[in-house]
Amino acid sequence: MSSGNFDADIQSKAVAIKHTASYAAGVIPLFYLPKNRQNMEENHEDRQAFQSSGNLVQNFFIVLPDAGAPIGVSGPESSGVLNAIRKALAGGAVPNAPLLKQPETLGEVAREWFHNNASAWRPSYAQRLKQRLEVGLLEHIGSRPLHTISPPELLEVVRKIELRDARETARRVLRIAGAVFRYGIATGRCTRDPTSDLRGALKPARAVKHRATLSARDLPKFLRNLELYQGDLTKLAMKIVLMTFVRTAELRFATWWEFENLDGPAPIWRIPAERMKMGKTHLVPLPRQAVSVLKEIRELQLGSPFVFPANTKKGVISENTLLFALYRMGYRRRATVHGFRSLASTVLNEAQFNRDWVEMQLAHADNTVRGVYNAAEWLSGRRTMLQWWADYLEAQRA
């Protein structure tokens, strides 16, 4: 048998493999490298015997265009692929030939990661994160196989966000990408996280501008000005914020059913988790002065389930109502509503109150074991602390 006929025979059987099973895209240029090609060309029967021998595998290679790409074949699948090669080269049929897994894209893995974690996030946070994921990342390279994305390619995408002067958004998108790649590593879709090579590649974050905050020595004058403010509901809302140092969103949407035991010895405000930044129900022990303010609001008979209703789209005072009141009182660039939280924290820590009580009342994150188990235990201490704070404010006003 001539060398040309032998090569043509091998080539035809390689084509049979290509048409018998749909392997990964662009796979299967096939090369036949026998140990003693000259002898086998001379003896066709010996060649046929060699095809059926167990030594066949070590003499055949499937050459992939991208040798670094995972082909997704192991265990039983690998045996099936080898059997397909043996049968095709021997001229037999290849029933139920196995398929090599296609590489998964960044978009597929990223959306799987998102859906696996979304239940642990607040809906508003999940929505913002999904927007950043889709627009900031997947819109550009979502169709790329996850394992092929390089650090420079990822950096090019994130720098498009940075060019809009959205530095913090760029950093957040990069953190999201890192979480997706780490998920990909854990689930066997890729072997490394390219974001780890991009540390220091983005422009530094801008310096944080701290909100204007009143000092303790400013309190007496501020409290006297507040008493003179024209606007009953706004003034009363400002007093509640001062005494409880809750966030503006936590205050604005307060409903009457959240307040418990207002006529009893242990009144409390139970703010639901969906309105809290940390997504956990927050308990606010109410000092007697705060209870008096709430009763004063109730006497206004505003006819709403909200404590601070207003003629707005959402039916409550706007997010800027209290801030604009501060402006009208002459405190533009001198005080903010959020600054009351810093003021309370400073005074209470200087008064040697338990730091954990202060942090819990501020509803800051506490991921320690103490944060999980001591919420109820510290309620009594926080009640004492908030009553002291309300008495302190009352004394400063006088």
User: Which residues are CB-contacts of 302 (< 8 A; sequence separation ≥ 6)?
Assistant: 233, 309
**Quick one: DSSP state of residue 136?**
I
Q: Which entry of 13, 47, 86, 247 is annotated as an active-site residue? A: 247
Q: Pick the catalytic residue from 19, 199, 209, 373.
A: 373
The continuous run of DSSP H or E covering 268 comes out as: strand 268-271
The yes-or-no answer on residue 247 being catalytic is: yes
Which residue among the candidates 87, 282, 341, 382 is catalytic per the annotation? 341
Q: Is residue 19 among the annotated active site residues?
A: no
Which residues, other chains included, contact 58 with Cβ-Cβ below 8 Å and sequence gap of 6+?
Answer: none
First to last CA, the chain: 114
Q: Is 346 exposed, middle or buried (0-12, 13-18, 19+ CB in 10 A)?
A: middle
Closest listed residue to residue 386, CA positions, set 259, 264, 251, 289:
289
Cα dist from 293 to 49, 87, 237, 281, 328, whole Å: 98, 87, 9, 23, 22
Q: 3-class SS at 96?
A: coil
- 364 in active site: yes
Cα-based angle 270, 277, 196 (whole degrees, multiple of 5): 150
- Catalytic member of 159, 328, 364, 370: 364
- For 10, residues 6+ apart whose C-beta sits below 8 A from its C-beta are 32, 89
- Among 18, 338, 392, 397, which one carries the catalytic annotation? 338
* Active-site residue flag, 327: no
Q: Residue 299 contacts by C-beta under 8 Å, 6 or more apart in sequence?
A: none
Q: What is the rounded CA–CA span in Å between residue 221 and residue 239? A: 15
Helix %, strand %, coil % for the chain, to 5?
Answer: 55, 5, 40
Q: Is residue 152 within 8 Å of residue 194, measured between CB atoms?
A: no
Q: 317, 352, 354: which is closest to 337 by C-alpha?
A: 317
Q: Phi/psi at 65 (nearest 5 deg)?
A: -60, -40
Beta strand 268-271 with 282-285 is: antiparallel
* Catalytic, out of 140, 277, 334, 397: 277
Closest CA to 316 of 270, 239, 256, 272: 256
Q: Which residues are part of the catalytic machinery? A: 247, 277, 338, 341, 364, 373
